[in-house]
A and B are shown apart, each in its own frame.
Chain A
Amino acid sequence: MRRVFDSQLIGPFAAMLIVALIVALTTDRFLNPGNLSNLSLQVSIVALIAIGSSIVIFAAGIDLSAGSMVALLTMIFAQMLKFAGIPIFVALPAILLVGALLGFGLGIITAYGRIPSFITTLAALIAFRGLALTFNNGSPIFSLDPALETVFYGRLFGLPLPFFYLVFFYAMAAIVMNFSKLGREIYAVGGNPAAAVLTGINVKKVQAITFAIAGFMTAVGAILMSARLNSGSPNYGQTLELQAIAAAVVGGASLAGGRGNVLATLMGAMTIVIVQNGLNLNAAPSSVQNVVLGLIILLAVGIDMWRAEISRFLSRLRGGATKSAR
């Protein structure tokens, strides 16, 4: 837990490299600079949201509300910019605040209302999508603000801005999870809530905070989504929560809580996006993409569960090799 770059990163990192290698072998377009820069744009939204999803999972919760919350927040954001005439530099922090508050609300209901987070956020998944439809008669809102597009498409030192968001937020998350009191408490709550209570940790407060973080990161994702298409829509963000959870799981986070590394989640998100990108470049239909995503999740969890068997198998292979060498 104390080491930012610990052994938990090796597996997800290796998986990402292997997937990238396979994709690079199937198409030479994968490694061209345009595609790589496109890749960082593609991964940015899901990877930023996955920070929040992972932290909730570390505390043994689950957040299913992210995708719908993205839709709701893009609509509120669009409403502010287009119809309420609120300037962008006010609307941006306002959306972040709304996201954090919505998440905190879900956290309070979960922790103090003693309702499992699966249910709380499932209810929110349905309700937020409904709420998003109450704006602008349920129609998308386009052409919000020309300045908005720079938030997503802008570049710094030749690199796309979302790359810097990723670096910034993942660095923050890694610092909080590995070096702060809060991070330690989150892992403790996820590892053993009963023991956490008896060591004087305010378990309910910690749980509520994880959902507030998730709401905040969802708002960051929603802003990028709006900026990317310069619009808000009640249809945005479908299955985004599942992709974010998948990123955490592929990154090795245990859904039982307490185990996982936030940087590994980034690897998980990259792995998923590289696979999608590879299928795109090879002109695979989107139906195939979803099937493949499903298989990746199964495989990632399977590898974790069958770790003992795999290492036994490998050692037998090695033993066999030495025997035959003799």
Chain B
Amino acid sequence: MSANDSPLWEFVNISKAYPGVLANDKVCIRLMPGSIHGLLGENGCGKSTMIKTLSGVQQPDSGQILHKGQEVRIADPDDARRRGVATVFQEFSIVPTLSVGENIFLGNMPRNRLGLIDWKTVNDASARVLKKLDIELSPETITGTLSVGEQQLVEIAKAVAMDAEMVILDEPTAALGEHEIEQLHVLLRKMRAQGTSILYVSHRLDEVERIVDEVTILRSGKVVRESGETEINVSEIVAAMVGEDVSEHYPKENNSVDAVVFECQNLRTRSGVNGASFDLRKGEVLGLGGVLGSGRTEIAHAIFGVDKLTDGALLLNGKNIEIKNEMQAINAGFALVPENRKYDGLFFNFRASGNITAAALPRIARRGFLDLAAEAKGTERLMNELEISPQAEKKTVNFLSGGNQQKVVIARWLFSEANILIFDEPTQGIDIGAKIAVYKLMNALTRAGKSIILISSDHDELLAMSDRIAVVQHGHINRVVGAGELSHDDLVRASSHDDAGEARPATATARIQTNSNESLAAEAIQ
């Protein structure tokens, strides 16, 4: 960390109101060079507003912005860029059809004397940037062919290439696996050492704990904890964010009974499922652990009829079943809460009701016509049960917070009365309060005798909420073990690219995670 104690950027009493909300209320924050600053808070607390102000997307209503002690006005995003602020937004600004090099220099292409793009410089300079960051990618690769994690690294390389002094990362790890996150953290530490100031926004508190130097916590537009005030540990952060002491971060119930309801035998697909076998018990949460691209989502797709099986069998309650498409999967009682609720989950042209009943239209249809009264009643019941904002039925669902949106997607499968629910990254990008609500919902489901297949890149969540964990590697399930027998480190090692870890047996002597019920808060205190 730098000994330099004059801030690079400073917000003094910044306020910003939108119609009906005071999004930022006299926010003060100091961003130091050579430091990673965590900006935390639940959805709607005003984080995005702050980021938008700092990146020049909007102007504050009042307050001062100081750059190296001088008051400035950030007129627009271009102005922010000129002042060395690079923002990596949650939604990628990568152009998938262009090469890595082109993306790195997008909007800033080196030209030769004829005014044409100087490809040699583009490729050489981006190769240099990539090398500096230890990213093993060719500048000429088409970006769309890369994994999401690699695209994220390209995005950061873009910020580095413009010599940004200040890099804002908005949920940079939302779509990344453990290995990619590690890679990203190495990169951030390197940038920190080079004197870059980094503003880091994330919902993944475990990771915040690992990487940030100081935190600022916002609640309802106000700073509730300034940097330096809060020690960086998860339980304190959670308490400050939610405004109350959350004792049970992972309120896991064990509802698994010894009866197999569903079994996969030697599943294979062209999309990369490579002889996957496992069984699922009644009331169980079976976690699928593994890195991004290990084939977890593909296994889910194979079960749900999205990808065709080339081999293998599915047994439901001991009987062979055939699932050729999504409709058959749903009729057989399966549900899929997809990884990306925005692209694969929600109908943004519908209110909550249309979203909730979408997978079970035959249930509310009589001779082709919908029983709208039954729809309204069923929807209302689920909205109450899941504590979905009543706003969800007044407007289309694009106005809802991520947490409410995810609840709507889950409610869809309660309405369809599914018995086996596949949750693919169910808490990605939602705030801590909504996460806990999702966990409690998982408990309620398993208590009712339903079974859950949980896919999560958040290892703490996976360990805490699963009864057993199947470790997936290259589309194959290496082993299935009780979640309590596995530690965070085991999981990282077992599912990492390092194949040596594969042979390593799970032993009780590994760093002890006493049991999967252990709350993270308790762990943090140790």
| A1 and B327 within 8 A (CB) | no
Near A by CB (< 8 A), chain B positions 319-354 give 325-327, 329-331, 336, 338, 343-351, 353-354
A2-B372, A179-B369, A184-B354 known; A197 vs B326 contact (CB < 8 Å): yes
| A201 and B349 within 8 A (CB) | no
Instruction: Say yes or no for B368: interface residue by CB 8 A criterion.
Output: yes
Instruction: Say yes or no for A239: interface residue by CB 8 A criterion.
Output: no
Least CB separation from B361: chain A residue: A181
Question: How far in angstroms is the closest Cβ of chain B from A314?
Answer: 13
Instruction: Say yes or no for A22: interface residue by CB 8 A criterion.
Output: no
Contact-size category for A: 20 to 34
A180-B370, A181-B365, A202-B327 known; A192 vs B359 contact (CB < 8 Å): no
Instruction: Say yes or no for A195: interface residue by CB 8 A criterion.
Output: yes
Task: State the CA gap A258–B369 with chains docked (Å).
Answer: 19
Contact with B along A193-209 (1 / 0, CB 8 A): 01111111110000000
Contact with B along A46-75 (1 / 0, CB 8 A): 000000000000000000000000000000
Instruction: Say yes or no for A187: interface residue by CB 8 A criterion.
Output: yes
Contact of B347 among A2, A180, A195, A202 (CB under 8 A): A195
Task: State the CA gap A191–B361 with chains docked (Å).
Answer: 16
A179-B369, A179-B372, A181-B369 known; A198 vs B351 contact (CB < 8 Å): no
Cβ contacts under 8 Å, B304 to chain A: 198
Question: How far in angstroms is the closest Cβ of chain B from A207?
Answer: 16
| A259 and B369 within 8 A (CB) | no
| B326 and A200 within 8 A (CB) | yes
A-side interface mostly: helix
Task: State the CA gap A153–B197 with chains docked (Å).
Answer: 77
Near B by CB (< 8 A), chain A positions 221-269 give 258-259
Question: How far in angstroms is the closest Cβ of chain A from B239?
Answer: 36
Task: State the CA gap A251–B205 with chains docked (Å).
Answer: 48
| A187 and B349 within 8 A (CB) | yes
| B354 and A187 within 8 A (CB) | yes
Instruction: Say yes or no for B412: interface residue by CB 8 A criterion.
Output: yes
Cβ contacts under 8 Å, B368 to chain A: 180-182
| B345 and A198 within 8 A (CB) | yes
| A188 and B344 within 8 A (CB) | no
Question: How far in angstroms is the closest Cβ of chain B from A298?
Answer: 24
User: Which of B306, B370, B375, B412 lies at the interface centre, i.e. has the most chain A CB atoms within 10 A of its CB?
Assistant: B370
Instruction: Say yes or no for B312: interface residue by CB 8 A criterion.
Output: no
Instruction: Say yes or no for A12: interface residue by CB 8 A criterion.
Output: no
Instruction: Say yes or no for A190: interface residue by CB 8 A criterion.
Output: yes
Cβ contacts under 8 Å, A187 to chain B: 347, 349-350, 354
Question: How far in angstroms is the closest Cβ of chain A from B380?
Answer: 13
Least CB separation from A256: chain B residue: B349
Instruction: Say yes or no for B260: interface residue by CB 8 A criterion.
Output: no
Least CB separation from B331: chain A residue: A200
Task: State the CA gap A195–B348 with chains docked (Å).
Answer: 10
| A181 and B350 within 8 A (CB) | no
Instruction: Say yes or no for B414: interface residue by CB 8 A criterion.
Output: no
A1-B354, A184-B361 known; A191 vs B347 contact (CB < 8 Å): yes
Task: State the CA gap A217–B304 with chains docked (Å).
Answer: 37
| B349 and A1 within 8 A (CB) | yes
Cβ contacts under 8 Å, A188 to chain B: 347, 350, 354, 358
Instruction: Say yes or no for B362: interface residue by CB 8 A criterion.
Output: yes
Near B by CB (< 8 A), chain A positions 92-113 give none
| A194 and B349 within 8 A (CB) | no
| A198 and B306 within 8 A (CB) | yes
Contact of B358 among A194, A201, A258 (CB under 8 A): A201
Cβ contacts under 8 Å, A258 to chain B: 347-349
| A192 and B348 within 8 A (CB) | yes
Question: How far in angstroms is the closest Cβ of chain B from A319?
Answer: 12
Least CB separation from B371: chain A residue: A179
| B343 and A194 within 8 A (CB) | yes
Cβ contacts under 8 Å, A185 to chain B: 361
| B347 and A179 within 8 A (CB) | no
Question: How far in angstroms is the closest Cβ of chain A from B196?
Answer: 36
| A195 and B344 within 8 A (CB) | yes
Cβ contacts under 8 Å, B365 to chain A: 180-181
Cβ contacts under 8 Å, B350 to chain A: 1, 187-188, 191
| B349 and A191 within 8 A (CB) | yes
Task: State the CA gap A199–B338 with chains docked (Å).
Answer: 11
| B346 and A192 within 8 A (CB) | yes
Cβ contacts under 8 Å, B359 to chain A: 199-200
Cβ contacts under 8 Å, B325 to chain A: 200
Cβ contacts under 8 Å, A181 to chain B: 361-362, 365, 368-370
Contact of A199 among B351, B358, B372, B375 (CB under 8 A): B358
Question: How far in angstroms is the closest Cβ of chain B from A299?
Answer: 23
Question: How far in angstroms is the closest Cβ of chain B from A208?
Answer: 16
Least CB separation from B364: chain A residue: A181
A187-B349, A188-B347, A191-B347 known; A200 vs B369 contact (CB < 8 Å): no
A180-B369, A182-B368, A200-B330 known; A194 vs B347 contact (CB < 8 Å): no
Near B by CB (< 8 A), chain A positions 154-201 give 179-182, 184-185, 187-188, 190-192, 194-201
Cβ contacts under 8 Å, B353 to chain A: 2
Task: State the CA gap A188–B370 with chains docked (Å).
Answer: 14
Contact with A along B293-324 (1 / 0, CB 8 A): 00000000000101000000000000000000
| A195 and B345 within 8 A (CB) | yes
Cβ contacts under 8 Å, A2 to chain B: 353-354, 372, 375
A192-B346, A194-B344, A198-B338 known; A179 vs B354 contact (CB < 8 Å): no
Question: How far in angstroms is the closest Cβ of chain A from B395?
Answer: 11
Cβ contacts under 8 Å, B336 to chain A: 198
Task: State the CA gap A202–B327 with chains docked (Å).
Answer: 8
Task: State the CA gap A190–B348 with chains docked (Å).
Answer: 10
Question: How far in angstroms is the closest Cβ of chain B from A198?
Answer: 6
Contact of B327 among A180, A190, A191, A200 (CB under 8 A): A200
Cβ contacts under 8 Å, A197 to chain B: 306, 326
Cβ contacts under 8 Å, B361 to chain A: 181, 184-185, 201
Cβ contacts under 8 Å, B370 to chain A: 179-181, 184
Least CB separation from B409: chain A residue: A195
User: Which of A1, A2, A195 lies at the interface centre, i.e. has the most chain B CB atoms within 10 A of its CB?
Assistant: A195
Near A by CB (< 8 A), chain B positions 367-424 give 368-370, 372, 375, 412
Question: How far in angstroms is the closest Cβ of chain A from B393?
Answer: 10
Question: How far in angstroms is the closest Cβ of chain A from B297?
Answer: 12
User: Which of A2, A192, A202 lies at the interface centre, i.e. has the most chain B CB atoms within 10 A of its CB?
Assistant: A192
Question: How far in angstroms is the closest Cβ of chain B from A156?
Answer: 29
Question: How far in angstroms is the closest Cβ of chain B from A310?
Answer: 14
Task: State the CA gap A102–B234 with chains docked (Å).
Answer: 63
| B326 and A198 within 8 A (CB) | yes
Cβ contacts under 8 Å, A184 to chain B: 354, 358, 361, 370
Least CB separation from A3: chain B residue: B372
Least CB separation from B357: chain A residue: A184
Least CB separation from B366: chain A residue: A181
Cβ contacts under 8 Å, A201 to chain B: 327, 358, 361
Question: 7 other contacts beyond A192-B348, A200-B325, with CB at 8 A cut-off?
Answer: A179-B369, A179-B372, A184-B354, A199-B326, A200-B326, A200-B330, A258-B348
6 residue pairs from A and B, CB less than 8 Å apart: A179-B369, A179-B372, A180-B370, A197-B326, A198-B306, A199-B326
**Interface residues of B, Cβ cutoff 8 Å to A:** 304, 306, 325-327, 329-331, 336, 338, 343-351, 353-354, 358-359, 361-362, 365, 368-370, 372, 375, 412
Give 10 nearest A-B pairs by CB, closest first: A258-B349, A191-B349, A200-B327, A199-B359, A191-B347, A200-B330, A181-B365, A199-B358, A200-B326, A194-B344
